[in-house]
Amino acid sequence: MRIVYIIIFCALLSTILLWLGRFGKLRKRYAAGAALASILLASTLLLLAVLPGNSFYGPVLTHGSAAKKQIALTFDDGPYPPYTQQLLKVLAEKQVHATFFMVGENAAKHPEIVRAVQAAGHEIALHAGKHQDLLKLDASELAANIASGKSTLEGLTGRKLRYMRPPHGFKDWQVMQALEGAGLQAVNWSVIPRDWTNPGVQRIVDRVCFAAEPGAIVLLHDGDSPKNAAPREQTVAAVGLIIDQLREEKYEFVTVSEMEK
Ligand SMILES: [Zn+2]
């Protein structure tokens, strides 16, 4: 069942109820109460679909064990030259492995970057075939989006993908079912510094370090899908500082699959 249909149904239902109350077919108080309940149901389902930290529609990995002082840096929307390569340089200098949630069509345009990410020992995961809001796609478009991204990345890396982060972290029952059908586990995050808004290097660093806790999965961006227009210098500059600061606090940097061990 798609959440959009439920929301449309609830909106129609509440309108009908209010009309029935207005024209005396239902007691106004009951009509208003039922309409409110219907709107609340739709709003709750929508919030659960767009908020990253819940598993209401199916299991979503948002953090690792709080018992280990580990942190996973994750990068969405790439590959995106020159920022992905710049980031690889920073991560190599700091000897940190991260997880890259790549967009299939970007990967197809920049296969050499995908190979460089893999050769550097980072984990490659799927973000989407195309960077679309999966909640808005019908079942066949959804399956095609995931299948195209998966086959592009598996073709380039020669390895089976394990994880997918749906664009914006949005999911409903159908998205979760499609991921399961493709053999992929959903991964969202627990720390979101909103680096894609380019708020300033120090602000990105502060937001991550303030929210960091054992088992945190940090959402950052080496890309800017689907527009591929915004710069990512701030994220690249912030990453080295984040690593230095959190290392001082004795954090160990791991990939998502290392965090799951
Ligand atoms: Zn994205």
Tell how far the Cα of 197 is from the centroid of ligand 1, in angstroms: 13
Token pair recorded at residue 232: 């990512």
What is the amino acid identity at position 164? M
Compute the distance from residue 2 Cα to the ligand 1 centre, in Å.
Answer: 21
Q: Residue 10: which domain range?
A: 3-50
Residues 69 and 145 in one domain: yes
* Residues less than 5 Å from ion ligand 1, measured at CB: 76-77, 167
Active site residues: 76, 221
Whether 38 and 157 share a structural domain: no
Do residues 215 and 65 lie in contact, with contact meaning Cβ atoms separated by under 8 Å? yes
pLDDT at 3: 81
Ligand 1 center–CA 130 separation, angstroms: 10
Confidence (pLDDT) at 261: 86
pLDDT over 70, % of the chain: 100
- Structural domain contains residue 123: yes
Number of structural domains in the chain: 2
pLDDT band of residue 1 (cuts 50, 70, 90) is low
Average pLDDT over residues 172-201: 97
Residues 179 and 234 in one domain: yes
Cα atoms in the 13 Å half-sphere on the side-chain side of 91: 29
Report how far ligand 1's centroid is from the alpha carbon of 149 (Å).
13
pLDDT at 234 over 70: yes
